[in-house]
């Protein structure tokens, strides 16, 4: 049973398109993190959201934490081939344990 469901699982788009990735759960999280992982490497933290309704922007990436702190979304504007990778969300429900979603594999074609 996956505590965090990510959708879509796979996404292949052309350079310049916009996209949104979703991370949903029936559980409430104290915080939620988004990571990007490239093949053969470990995940790299992109952002941490803590407050319900919070929106954070990181250049072309916009992260939103749901009001009820059960879900989150990542929106990428004008995707570039360098955005290709596995995007993982991770929620913290109790002390120092993070539950990861299964990831969204993004491929941006030039």
- Site residues (CB under 8 A) for other proteins? 2, 4, 6, 30-31, 35, 40-45, 48, 50, 88, 90, 92, 95-103, 105
Closer CB to other proteins, residue 15 or residue 56?
A: 56
Closer CB to other proteins, residue 1 or residue 110?
A: 1
* Shortest distance, position 60 Cβ to other proteins, whole Å: 22
Phi–psi pair at 82, nearest 5 degrees: -70, -10
Residues 6 or more apart whose Cβ sits within 8 Å of residue 15 = 79, 80, 81, 108, 109, 110
Closer CB to other proteins, residue 48 or residue 64?
A: 48
* Shortest distance, position 45 Cβ to other proteins, whole Å: 6
* Shortest distance, position 61 Cβ to other proteins, whole Å: 17
What is the three-class DSSP state of 47? strand
């Amino acid at each position: 049973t996956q505590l965090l469901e990510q959708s879509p699982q796979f996404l292949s788009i052309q350079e310049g398109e916009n996209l949104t990735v979703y991370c949903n759960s029936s559980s409430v999280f104290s915080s939620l993190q988004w990571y990007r992982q490239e093949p053969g490497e470990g995940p790299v933290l992109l952002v941490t959201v803590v407050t319900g309704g919070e929106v954070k922007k990181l250049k072309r990436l916009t992260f939103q934490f749901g009001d009820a702190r059960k879900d989150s979304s990542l929106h990428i504007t004008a995707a570039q081939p360098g955005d290709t990778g596995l995007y993982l969300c991770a929620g913290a429900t109790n002390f120092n344990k993070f539950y990861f979603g299964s990831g969204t594999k993004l491929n941006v074609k030039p």
